[in-house]
Amino acid sequence: MLQLFKVFWAICRLKAGPQDLPKGHYLLVFAILAGVIIDSFTTSILITELSGLVIINTVVIYNVLLLSAIYFLLKLTGYAERGVQTITAIVGAGIFISLVLLPGLLIMDSVEENVKSFALFILIDNVWRISVNAHIFRHALSISLLMAMILSVSYLLFGVLVADYLLPAQSP
């Protein structure tokens, strides 16, 4: 188990790729469940107006749509056999990034609202996720780093569109 954590952490530091993970459906399911729990917790911190059930439903639908998009891309490009490892890498790395940044989010939530600190936090989170996902896509799809970065930014934008569609409109 410790070796698995080391691999996920190495992926977050761009030192390992999805091919370094075992091809296990149980690991994938465990990672997705852990990801839903962590994402639900962080979403509840960021959007306090939503109930727990709404948050969980939104996070599950969000993850199903985004992870399905990755699988269909791999299938479309002829790399479907890399699907389990690729999706496990993306979910696992996302969990580690969330856990590393969680203390900062909790600190910002407990103090008076500081827009500059929150903007910096979101910037760090997004740049790290884009970099890690590009690294994973580069290995999974055997593409150049530039194409992987374009794909990673597109993936982030797709996630923003899905979240915008799924989350209820906020009243001023």
pLDDT of 111 higher than 70: no
Residue 73's pLDDT is: 95
Model confidence, pTM: 0.89
Cα–Cα dist 132/55, whole Å: 25
pLDDT of 134 higher than 90: yes
Mean pLDDT score, 84-101? 94
Residue 150's pLDDT is: 97
Cα–Cα dist 1/110, whole Å: 33
- 39-82 pLDDT, tens digit per residue, is 999 888 877 787 888 889 889 999 999 999 999 999 999 999 99
Cα–Cα dist 153/158, whole Å: 9
Least confident of 7-11, 13-17, 34-38, 56-60: 56-60
pLDDT of 7 higher than 90: yes
Per the prediction, the chain carries an average pLDDT of 89
Residue 170's pLDDT is: 55
Per-position DSSP letters for 50-95, written without gaps between them: S-HHHHHHHHHHHHHHHHHHHHHHHHHTT-GGGHHHHHHHHHHHHH
- 137-166 pLDDT, tens digit per residue, is 999 999 999 999 999 999 999 998 998 888
pLDDT of 100 higher than 70: yes
